[in-house]
């Protein structure tokens, strides 16, 4: 890793983490208020981490959408190439995904000692199934970040590319939501099963293929994007 790439990755990651340190407490407060004032068994049994898994995906989607408009012009003005920007931003997305997952797990662990809050993930029974479930959400969260990044790059190039990327992301995200088992799934379609190693391998493989597809398209779009220098 070159010095410029390393420094850019650190800068983007630090900024994302700074934003995350606002997001996590605010979301934790929402979770606490809901559990204290709403007596819904399903909600009260759900851990903060379980609720955060879904919320983290939306949060990372927003970060991805902000990526180009917030950092591209600034980066180019500092002498960074588009290639460095792309690789640094992608790495920052991975690191931020890991950070918010670990941070929400830590907050959930602390809240679990209090009697008002749940400690489980209702959709799964535990053990290896829980690890696969959380791993699926990790991959999905990264997919949402890259999807937001792709949407941002598309609209930076123009309205038509932007809308095209929105439609592509809708198809990919709905597809990955369908294959990963959720409590209700997406649009009522059946998900693949955790019960067999083949089912798990297929879920992981399809998600990785989707990640690779978005990564390749994003790399192509960033490579020759016209930067609006101010």
Domain that holds residue 71: 3-223
Model's pTM, two decimal places?
0.86
Indicate whether 21 belongs to any domain: yes
Indicate whether 89 belongs to any domain: yes
Indicate whether 17 belongs to any domain: yes
Indicate whether 118 belongs to any domain: yes
Summarize pLDDT for 178-195 with one digit per residue, the tens: 766 554 344 334 444 545
- Give Dmax (Cα) for the chain: 55
Indicate whether 31 belongs to any domain: yes
Closest-CA residue to 27 (of 54, 3, 53, 55) = 55
Task: Report yes or no: 86 and 144 within 8 Å, Cβ to Cβ.
Answer: no
75-79, 140-144, 185-189: which has the minimum mean pLDDT?
185-189
Question: Cα(200)–Cα(39) distance, rounded to whole angstroms?
Answer: 35
Q: How many domains does the chain have?
A: 1
Indicate whether 167 belongs to any domain: yes
Residues whose CB is less than 8 angstroms from the CB of residue 61 and which lie 6 or more positions away in sequence, other chains included: 144, 145, 147, 148
Indicate whether 214 belongs to any domain: yes
Question: Which is more confident, 19 or 184?
Answer: 19
Indicate whether 229 belongs to any domain: no
């Amino acid at each position: 890793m070159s010095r410029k790439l390393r420094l850019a990755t650190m800068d983007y990651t630090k900024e994302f983490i700074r934003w995350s340190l606002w997001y996590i407490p605010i979301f934790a407060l929402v979770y606490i208020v809901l559990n204290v004032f709403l007596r819904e068994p399903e909600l009260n049994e759900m851990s903060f981490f379980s609720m955060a898994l879904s919320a983290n995906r939306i949060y990372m989607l927003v970060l991805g959408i902000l990526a180009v408009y917030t950092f591209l012009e600034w980066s180019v003005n500092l002498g960074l190439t588009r290639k460095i920007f792309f690789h640094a931003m992608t790495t920052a997305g991975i690191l931020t995904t890991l950070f918010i997952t670990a941070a929400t797990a830590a907050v959930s662990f602390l809240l679990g000692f209090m009697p008002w809050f749940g400690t489980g993930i209702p959709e799964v029974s535990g053990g290896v199934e829980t690890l696969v479930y959380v791993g699926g959400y990790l991959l999905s969260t990264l997919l949402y970040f890259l999807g937001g990044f792709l949407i941002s790059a598309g609209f930076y190039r123009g309205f038509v590319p932007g809308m095209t990327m929105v439609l592509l992301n809708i198809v990919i995200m709905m597809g990955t939501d369908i294959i990963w088992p959720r409590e209700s799934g997406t649009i009522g379609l059946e998900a693949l099963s955790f019960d067999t190693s083949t089912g798990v391998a297929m879920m992981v493989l399809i998600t990785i293929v989707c990640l690779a597809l978005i990564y390749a398209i994003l790399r192509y779009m960033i490579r020759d994007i016209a930067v609006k220098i101010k």
